[in-house]
């Protein structure tokens, strides 16, 4: 992973005509890793780097267009609620995320604050791979209604809450969000072996079962 990172920064980007010093881009990439799954604020990141918001937007676009990073946009829903408008940023490869954060084994990951959002990013990428033509977003209001992933495809809407647990607890905000986004079906992606019923038609399931259900719908 370390060799891949160095090759990407020192050879691949220059071959694309991108002349940003590799230490600068590495620092920015590592900052994105620390913000994995968070709402993105150009001004905040720019202040930490000592550059302009326009510069951080340029760096972000480079990683996004190189398929290293995903910018997950909020759902534009006419619910009458005050919605979060900032995107969330995820590194698209879990291995690169962990390498940039110096997480080298499962034990280190288990005790790391990134564990939950690492799993979140992994699930999003599995769904994206299974449904490449789907529109992916998230939903969040200032009042706390929230669903991690909304999948829109062929006139159908699926809501997916993501929990890095084998016995997930789903907060009230998820149920409130379902009332707002009105999905055709809803799931909780968790670290379980088999699908389990939750309530109100929501199913707790491993990510591969969710992907199978989406592709067979």
Domains defined for the chain, CATH in brackets? 2-216 (1.10.10.10)
Confidence of residue 71 (pLDDT cuts 50, 70, 90): very high
Given a cut of 70, is residue 101 above it in pLDDT?
Answer: yes
Q: What is the pLDDT of residue 82?
A: 84
Select from 14, 11, 47 the least CA-distant residue to 31. 47
Provide mean pLDDT across the span 111-116.
94
Provide mean pLDDT across the span 35-52.
89
User: What angle separates helix 42-49 from helix 53-65, to the nearest 10 degrees?
Assistant: 100
Contact between 160 and 131 under an 8 Å Cβ cutoff? The reply is: no
pLDDT tens-digit readout, 119-162? 999 999 999 999 999 999 999 998 889 999 999 999 999 999 99
Given a cut of 90, is residue 43 above it in pLDDT?
Answer: no
The whole-angstrom separation of Cα 53 and Cα 56 is: 5
Q: What is the pLDDT of residue 65?
A: 95
Average pLDDT over the chain, rounded to an integer = 94
Q: What is the pLDDT of residue 104?
A: 92
Q: What is the pLDDT of residue 41?
A: 86
pLDDT tens-digit readout, 18-34? 999 999 999 999 999 99
The whole-angstrom separation of Cα 177 and Cα 114 is: 24
Given a cut of 90, is residue 199 above it in pLDDT?
Answer: no
Confidence of residue 78 (pLDDT cuts 50, 70, 90): low
């Amino acid at each position: 992973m370390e060799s891949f990172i160095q090759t990407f920064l020192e050879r691949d980007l220059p071959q694309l005509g991108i002349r940003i010093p590799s230490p600068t881009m590495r620092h920015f990439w590592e900052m994105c890793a620390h913000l994995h799954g968070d709402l993105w604020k150009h001004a905040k990141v720019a202040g930490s780097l000592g550059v302009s918001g326009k510069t951080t937007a340029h760096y972000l676009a480079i990683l996004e267009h190189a398929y290293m990073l995903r910018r997950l946009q909020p759902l534009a829903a006419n619910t009458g609620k005050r919605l979060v408008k900032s995107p969330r940023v995820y590194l698209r490869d879990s291995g690169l995320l962990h390498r940039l954060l110096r997480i080298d084994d499962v034990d280190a990951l288990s005790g790391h604050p990134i564990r939950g959002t690492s799993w979140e990013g992994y699930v999003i990428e599995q769904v994206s791979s299974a449904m490449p033509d789907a529109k992916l977003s998230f939903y969040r209001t200032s009042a706390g209604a929230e669903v991690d992933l909304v999948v829109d495809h062929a006139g159908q809407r699926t809501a997916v809450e993501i929990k890095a647990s084998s016995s997930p607890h789903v907060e009230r905000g998820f149920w409130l969000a379902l009332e707002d986004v009105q999905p055709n079906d809803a799931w909780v992606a968790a670290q379980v072996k088999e699908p389990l019923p939750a309530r109100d038609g929501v199913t707790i399931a491993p990510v591969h079962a969710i992907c199978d259900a989406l592709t067979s719908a």
